[in-house]
Amino acid sequence: MAGLGAWNLARAALIILLLPRSLEQCGHISLSAPIVRLGDPITASCTISQNCSHLDSESHIVWKLEAELQPGERQQYLPNGTLQSTITLPHLNRSRALLSCCLHWGNSLQILDQAELQAGYPPATPHNLSCLMNLTTNSLTCQWEPGPNTHLSTNFTLKSFKSRGNCQSREDSIPDCVPEDGQSHCSIPRKHLQLYQNMGIWVQAKNALGTSVSPKLCLVPMDVVKLEPPTLWALGPSPEVAPPQPGCLRLRWETWKPSLHIDQKCELRHQPLLGEASWDLVGALPSRTLQYELCGLLPSTAYALQMRCTRWRLPGHWSNWSPSLELTTTQRAPTVRMDTWWRQRQLDPRTVDVQLFWQPVPLEEDSGQIQGYLVSLRPSDKAGADPMLCNTTELNCTFQLPSEAREVILEAYNTAGTSHPTPVVFLESGGPPLGRLHTVARDPHSLWVGWEPPSPQPRGYVIEWGLGPPSPSGSPKTWRMEHNGSIAGTLLQENIRPFQLYEITVTPLYQDTKGPSQHIYAYSQEMAPSHGPELHLRHIGKTWAQLEWVPEAPELGRSPLTHYTIFWTNAQDRSFSTVLNASSHSFVLRGLEPSSLYHVHLMAASQVWATNSTSLTLMTLALGFPLTLEESELHILLGLFGLLVLLICLCGAAQLCCRPSRKNPLWPSVPDPAHSSLGSWVPTITTEDTFQLPSLRDSSMPPITKITVLEEEEKKPGPWESNDSSGTCGLPSLVQAYVLQGDPRVPRMQPQPQSGTSDQVLYVQVLGSPTGPRPGHYLRCDSTQPLLGGLTPSPKSYENLWFQTSPLGTPEPLVPNPEDDCIFEPLLDFPLLQGLRVSGVEGLGGF
């Protein structure tokens, strides 16, 4: 098996090596046309000879255009045994393409034959044919425009002939002139020309798709001659000729030698070297002159000069412009007006330090170049001294003057002389001041400063401006003088930069004095806020969120805020926004979805800028979430309100309980016998029940002791429903008591207390005198009535008293009725009264 595999491999390699040679003469491609118009169809056929048919009976021809496979139309065997395949390309859109006829051989595609396809356009008609007679090369050179590209190889030929008429008839033919490839001009040598005889000239263009010719041109070679430009020279100074005036130039030129026998006219043009000025053309100059003085130029200015020439009185073409000649005009003395301003500082009583500023204002367009400035004293100011103070090229000068000096002289100079002297008079400040000074920033590079003109009207104003604090005090300032005293403002545009603080000073100038200077500070353009306020979340609910921020403090030089804009975006990237005024510092987002995420940010905007604040991400509460802060606060307020109402009710109840006048109508006033004396709880005698009490100070009347509750138990029967008469006596129905007579301080035997029913309430009324000789008595009464009742009306004010008043007004002790169920017993029968001490007599003196 290994040997068989190696043999198969060797056989396959042999076939690959022999394939090109065995198929080299098998196929052939035939084209309907080798070159077609771009976009037209083309047909090709590939034929395989019968010598190659033994390769494979199922052979199939494949077409390729460049690297793209193309479907063949049909494939057939011809009677002579050859195999033929035909293909038609409907639109050939390539100027050049390679068509291949291929055959499948094994697993590869073998090329049998190839043909190059070409497509293009017929040549366009050449146009703009023109010819020039060049005397330098002694040839007639013609040029033309070939037209659009044909994508094919196109040949151009310049054809001509001689003619004695108007080129309607031919006399002699001139050899064709064939230009080099890619060129569209050609030259006919002098030997084939008649300089003063007509010639017919045209251009022929030819390629594989057709031929075209240009319109014929009929001309005389000397009528199209083009001369060479002259050579320019500067005319040097001469003793016989005066030097040129300021603003004038002198020059000469030489014509081209082969054209010396030709009459010519020339043109001169000039242009300043500096700046972007255009060329100025000077009219025709006769060539025989060969020199010229050019005036009307700017003094002390460099110029470039050029000249060209053509035939005079005969047809011809202008020559090219000559190379430039650079000359500089002479200077003239400056003709300027000086605007001046100064600052003075007293050094000592005899010396003043002066800083003088000036600005030259040209009086004419060609006012002359300034090379320097001279500042000097008037000779009469200080005799015998050097009057020169400054010689500078700057626009300011600092010098010292005597205190009595009031004037200096300023002049501008150059090599031609000095300007008219300008006197500078140092005015004293004594005029009226300006009115209201104000500024407005028109744009980032200008400031409008306005004022109210004073009265009388000044002759002018001096405006100074420069960077304000915190710039150094000695920083340079720009100044300008306004000579119109009626204006009320001016626009400052020099040395103004955006976002800078400027100090502006305006000083009015009068005829012999000046007014006080007025100062103002202004920004050329205010900056945006340095940063926006920080956004905070104050409260949040299920469908709302309250935001707040602290407005930033105003900053110097920064534009004040005009409004805020709040943007918020939900999880679905839906954006919302609202605009708030600058005074706002909180906002509530409403209409939010519960349990949703939102991104919020705040933008602070001014008139010129906008600044983004910090961003905030928040999530609203879910529907089942506990009470929000707002709801909790509401509940707290309601709770506090309820507590307040309860407190008011309690206070009212306490007031009602504590005041007897309001308590007695509701329930009887029954004091606590164990903690009260008789005088403190005896009811007040009303006008309805008037009765007299016996005087307790009477020695015959035993005094009243304290009342003590001995026992109180809950009554089992109804509190006020008992009708048992056995438990009642002649005393008031609510109170049953013991009446004690005798001296309670005498010790007695303590008997056992009588057992009573558990539903009884025992009262005792003790009568006696601590000083009387009679023994004390007590009145004891058992009663089943309770101490208090909710429905029984209050007792009369006299029912709790055991005294009555006799008709004579003397008090008498109340003697119990023997018919009542009241039993008189000794004091010892009531065990809890054994240690009772009679007191409170002094408190009853009012009865």
Residue where a domain terminates, one of 404, 426, 448: 426
Nearest to 205 by CA among 142, 151, 141, 158: 158
List, as one string, the DSSP characters of 785-816: --S--SSSPPPPTTTT--EEE-TTS-EEEPPP
Residue 94 tokens, joined = 């390539």
**507 and 588 share a domain?**
no
Nearest to 683 by CA among 696, 695, 668, 698: 668
| 14 pLDDT more than 50 | no
Sign of CA dihedral 214, 220, 223, 227: positive
Q: Tell me the Ramachandran region of residue 347: left when phi exceeds 0, alpha when psi lies from -120 to 50, beta otherwise.
A: alpha
**114 and 157 share a domain?**
no
Query: Average pLDDT for residues 114-128, to the nearest whole number?
Result: 92
643 lies in some domain: no
| 123 preceded by a cis bond (ω within 30 of 0) | no
| 145 pLDDT more than 50 | yes
Structural domain containing residue 442: 429-523
Measured in whole angstroms, the distance separating CA 650 from the mean position of its chain's CA atoms is 64
Residue 235: CATH number of its domain: 2.60.40.10
Query: Average pLDDT for residues 727-750, to the nearest whole number?
Result: 41
**111 and 34 share a domain?**
yes
Other Cβ atoms closer than 10 A to 816 = 18
Question: What does the alpha-carbon distance between residue 489 and residue 485 come to, in Å, rounded to a whole number?
Answer: 10
Other Cβ atoms closer than 10 A to 157 = 15
Q: What angle do CA 123, 129, 131 make, to 5 degrees?
A: 140
Q: Please write down the long-range contacts of 282-291, taking CB distance under 8 Å and 24 or more positions apart.
A: 287/230, 287/255, 287/263, 287/312, 290/252, 290/253, 290/254, 290/255, 291/235, 291/250, 291/251, 291/252, 291/253
| 663 pLDDT more than 70 | no
**242 and 317 share a domain?**
yes
**236 and 199 share a domain?**
no
Per the CB < 8 A criterion, the answer to whether 454 and 435 are in contact is yes
pLDDT-derived band at 327 (thresholds 50, 70, 90) equals very high
Return the minimum-mean-pLDDT range out of 11-15, 160-164, 303-307, 607-611: 11-15
736 lies in some domain: no
pLDDT-derived band at 734 (thresholds 50, 70, 90) equals very low
Question: What does the alpha-carbon distance between residue 47 and residue 26 come to, in Å, rounded to a whole number?
Answer: 8
291 lies in some domain: yes
Question: What does the alpha-carbon distance between residue 321 and residue 138 come to, in Å, rounded to a whole number?
Answer: 21
Residue 263 to residues 313, 318, 323, 757, Cα–Cα distance (Å): 8, 13, 22, 173
Per the CB < 8 A criterion, the answer to whether 368 and 452 are in contact is no
Q: What is the pLDDT of residues 546-570, one digit of tens each?
A: 999 988 776 666 767 888 899 999 9
E strands present in 221-279: 225-226, 231-234, 249-254, 264-272
**204 and 243 share a domain?**
no
Q: Please tell me the predicted confidence (pLDDT) of residue 359.
A: 92
φ, ψ for residue 44 (rounded to 5)? -135, 150
592 lies in some domain: yes
Question: What does the alpha-carbon distance between residue 508 and residue 490 come to, in Å, rounded to a whole number?
Answer: 13
Return the minimum-mean-pLDDT range out of 102-106, 330-334, 456-460: 102-106
Q: Please tell me the predicted confidence (pLDDT) of residue 668.
A: 57
Q: Give the residues across from 561 on adjacent strands.
A: 606
pLDDT-derived band at 189 (thresholds 50, 70, 90) equals very high
- Provide CB contacts within 8 A for 507, sequence distance 6+: 461, 462, 464, 514, 515, 516, 517, 518
Percent helix, strand and coil across the chain, each rounded to 5?
Answer: 10, 40, 50
How many domains does the structure of the chain reveal?
Answer: 6
List, as one string, the DSSP characters of 512-542: SEEPPPEEEEEESSPBPPSSPPPEEEEEE-S
Question: What does the alpha-carbon distance between residue 187 and residue 193 come to, in Å, rounded to a whole number?
Answer: 11
Q: Please tell me the predicted confidence (pLDDT) of residue 15.
A: 35
| 532 pLDDT more than 90 | no
217-219 and 280-286 beta bridge pairing? unpaired
DSSP 8-state symbol, 37: E
**448 and 357 share a domain?**
no
| 724 pLDDT more than 50 | no
Nearest to 119 by CA among 67, 65, 70: 65
Q: Please tell me the predicted confidence (pLDDT) of residue 673.
A: 62
- Provide CB contacts within 8 A for 807, sequence distance 6+: none
Write b or e for each residue in 593-627: b if 16 or more Cβ atoms lie within 10 A of its Cβ, otherwise e. eeebebebbbbbbbeeeebebeebebebbeeeeee
Query: Average pLDDT for residues 194-204, to the nearest whole number?
Result: 90
Say how many residues make up the chain. Answer: 847
**265 and 314 share a domain?**
yes
Query: Average pLDDT for residues 252-265, to the nearest whole number?
Result: 82
Q: What is the pLDDT of residues 766-785, one digit of tens each?
A: 444 444 444 444 444 444 44
Other Cβ atoms closer than 10 A to 332 = 21
Nearest to 522 by CA among 456, 463, 449: 449
pLDDT-derived band at 843 (thresholds 50, 70, 90) equals very low
Query: Average pLDDT for residues 621-643, to the nearest whole number?
Result: 74
Nearest to 547 by CA among 597, 584, 591, 595: 584
Amino acid at 337: R
**452 and 363 share a domain?**
no
Q: Give the residues across from 357 on adjacent strands.
A: 341, 396
464 lies in some domain: yes
Q: Please tell me the predicted confidence (pLDDT) of residue 84.
A: 85
**372 and 383 share a domain?**
yes
Q: What is the pLDDT of residues 409-421, one digit of tens each?
A: 999 998 888 999 9
pTM of the model: 0.43
Measured in whole angstroms, the distance separating CA 378 from the mean position of its chain's CA atoms is 61
Q: Please tell me the predicted confidence (pLDDT) of residue 715.
A: 40
Residue where a domain terminates, one of 87, 102, 120: 120
* Helix, coil or strand: residue 439: strand
Per the CB < 8 A criterion, the answer to whether 335 and 300 are in contact is no
Residue where a domain terminates, one of 577, 596, 620: 620
**Using H for helix, E for strand and C for coil, what is the string for 319-388?**
CCCCCCEEEECCCCCCCEEEEEEEEEEEEECCEEEEEEEEEEEECCCCCCCCCEEEEEECCCCCCCCCCE
778 lies in some domain: no
Per the CB < 8 A criterion, the answer to whether 274 and 267 are in contact is no
651 lies in some domain: no
DSSP 8-state symbol, 47: E
**231 and 322 share a domain?**
yes
| 694 preceded by a cis bond (ω within 30 of 0) | no
Q: What is the pLDDT of residues 435-456, one digit of tens each?
A: 889 988 888 888 999 999 998 8
DSSP 8-state symbol, 625: S
pLDDT-derived band at 625 (thresholds 50, 70, 90) equals low
Sign of CA dihedral 406, 412, 417, 419: negative
Return the minimum-mean-pLDDT range out of 72-76, 198-202, 418-422, 790-794: 790-794
List, as one string, the DSSP characters of 85-127: EEEEES----SEEEEEEEEEETTEEEEEEEEEEEEE-PPPPPE
709 lies in some domain: no
Residue 387 to residues 139, 310, 366, 393, 677, Cα–Cα distance (Å): 75, 62, 30, 18, 127
pLDDT-derived band at 669 (thresholds 50, 70, 90) equals low
**440 and 518 share a domain?**
yes
